Amino acid sequence: MEEDKFALVERIIKDIHLVLSKIAELRAFDIVPVDTNIRNKSPVLHLENCLGLESWCIKHVYMYSYSEIMDKYCTKGRRKTFNVSLNSERLIKLLNVTLLLNPELSLFWNKRRMLVLECLLDKIYELHFTRLILSRKPKCNDAFAYRRWLLDIMFKDDSLQNNNIQDIINEELNICTLASDKNPNNYHSWNHRIWFLNKLKTLEKQFNVHYHYIKEYNFSEQWVAKNVSDYSCFHYRQFCIKNIYLLNDDLWIKFTKSVNLDLRKTFVRILAANFPKDSTIQVSEDDLLTYSENNLVNLLLFHSVKKCYCILDNVLVCRKLETLFHELEVNNELIRFYKHHETLWYHRRFIIHEIVRIIYDHFCLTKSNGSLIRNTCKKCTYDDERQKQAKMVRYDSNCIYSCVLFNVLLTHERKFVEEMRMNFDNYADRHEKYLKFVEGFNNSSKCL
């Protein structure tokens, strides 16, 4: 009986291996719940590029292949210089089966790494294999880590062709999208996506990664709109927003075209609606539209306390603000539409924090341990006050709390929190507290 069982398992492993030989076409693998097999039928199902395995055989196949690998290929005994190439085909077969059934086995993934380094496994095959694994377990970190390892090696290889890179990029982003789609809050897939874009940035030889920044920005905007509770994709969204800062002039134009929205208009509309009433300058929306970037930033952050004479890039500051206020507007709508979603409020905190940081940067300040500290200019090494680094006196910090942008933001947030409170959204109160105690919005409450 025991021998018959082994023969059955061997046969199933062989059947799986046959299907896996066409791995480039395989799209998905899963275990089909069949508790008892009444008929004498193969548990390996192969239909339209999908591989299935009936659940009744899992226990036997897994135990068999796992123990064989552990017994024969993972012994650390007298013979340490064990030559895997000896029976690598058998090992690969068993590894394939075991990892398909249980991909959370770092030891076996390391065995695969060893085989790849000895050129006994093809890297492209491995990419296909991990894709198959991820189709069943989209949260498998071992598989993602293995992919990263493979891609690292592949990108180091100079013979990689440009169009091959393009294929790899498409494939990788596609896989991340699928994995994120299958499993909400898939930290691993979004993390992998961030790693991949950062990796592309370090390559940057034959292609421009900035196009992908724009693409990913638009992609993530659509994605977060559909997955309002997925904090992992919001984290990715934040990564995309920061990447947008890096675009140059040409690409910025391209970017503004691609979003199908006049970013400046959104920005100016929020400004005009929340302009401080006691301000000496009264402006209408149309007026603001005519301002150049430089003038607009000067208007919003009129007071600069810089001691050095470096020219601030007001155009960049303006672009950052446009992006962030667009994000704020999108966030408003999402919160109005999807009530009681904590993730959306956390994302809002990020936006506010970014805007406040721009203001701090403008005044050469940083926040440390809850108190504001004068920072040295980032561009020149002007640091006459470095020794002091004292806590800022009230008078100095007033320049922040009196600048137009800060007040616009304050008014806007007040209004929004009030509106949400009417809708019984509990997170509104928490947001107000956050603004008060973390971002220091209470310091200027007397202004209102």
Partner 1 sequence: MTYSGRNKFEIARFSGEDENHINRKLPKELLLRILSYLDVVSLCRCAQVSKLWNILALDGSNWQRIDLFDFQRDVEGPVIENISRRCGGFLRQLSLRGCESIADGSMKTLAQSCPNIEDLNLNKCKKLTDQTCQALGRRCNKLQRINLDSCPSITDISLKALADGCPLLTHVNVSWCQSITDNGVEALARGCPKLKSFICRGCKNVNDKAVSSLATHCPDLEVLNVQGCDNVSDESISKLGGGMRRLCVSGCARLTDAALAAVAARCPALATLELAQCSQLTDAGFQALARNCRMLERMDLEECVLITDTTLVHLSMGCPRLEKLTLSHCELITDYGIKQLSMSPCAAEHLTVLGLDNCPLVTDGALEHLTSCHNLQLIELYDCQMVTRNAIRKLRSHLPNIKVHAYFAPVTPPVAGGGARPRYCRCCNII
Please select the residue that binds partner 1; options are 33, 47, 80, 81, rule is CB under 8 A. Answer: 81
384 part of the interface to partner 1, by CB under 8 A: no
Q: Is 88 in the site for partner 1 (CB under 8 A)?
A: no
Q: Please say which residue, 86 or 308, places its beta carbon nearer to partner 1.
A: 86
Side chain identity at residue 93, one-letter code: K
Task: Please check whether residue 104 is in contact with residue 140, taking contact to mean a CB–CB distance below 8 angstroms.
Answer: yes
Which position among 33, 80, 83, 282 is part of the footprint of partner 1 (CB under 8 A)? Answer: 83
- 41 scored as a contact of partner 1 (CB under 8 A): yes
* C-beta of 66 vs 360, nearer to partner 1: 66
> Exactly one of 49, 67, 75, 85 binds partner 1 (CB under 8 A); which one?
85
Sign of the alpha-carbon dihedral angle for 117, 123, 127, 130? negative
Measured CA to CA in angstroms, residue 24 lies from 20, 21, 27, 28, 273 at distances of 9, 8, 8, 11, 56
- What is the 3-class SS of 257-305, one letter each residue? HHCCCCHHHHHHHHHHHCCCCCCCCCCCHHHHHHCCHHHHHHHHCCCCC
Give the chain's radius of gyration (CA, Å).
29
Nearer to partner 1, 18 or 281 (CB): 18
Binding mask 20-39 for partner 1 (x = CB under 8 A): ----------------xxxx
Instruction: Tell the smallest beta-carbon distance from residue 246 to partner 1 (Å).
Output: 51
**Binding-site size, partner 1 (CB under 8 A):** 24
Query: What share of residues in the chain are helix, strand, coil (percent, to 5)?
Result: 65, 5, 30
Residue among 133, 237, 238, 236 at smallest CA distance from 179: 133
- Reading the block at residue 52, the tokens are 């299935």
Position 82 contacts partner 1 (CB under 8 A): yes
Which of 57, 296, 324, 404 touches partner 1 (CB under 8 A)? 57
The distance of closest approach from Cβ of residue 12 to partner 1 in the complex, given in angstroms and rounded to an integer, is 8
Q: Is 47 in the site for partner 1 (CB under 8 A)?
A: no
What is the residue-wise DSSP string for 329-372? HHHHHHHHHSTT-HHHHHHHHHHHHHHHHHHHHHTTEEEETTEE
Neighbours of 410 (CB within 10 A): 21
4 binds partner 1 (CB under 8 A): yes
Q: DSSP for 171-193? A: HHHHHHHHHHHHSTT-HHHHHHH
Of the pair 39, 76, the CB lying nearest partner 1 is at 39
In the complex, least distance from residue 79 CB atom to partner 1, rounded to whole angstroms: 7
Residue 218 in the binding site for partner 1 (CB under 8 A): no
Q: How far is the CB of 5 from partner 1 (least distance, A)?
A: 4
Contact footprint for partner 1 (CB under 8 A)? 1, 3-5, 7-8, 11, 36-43, 56-57, 60, 79, 81-83, 85-86
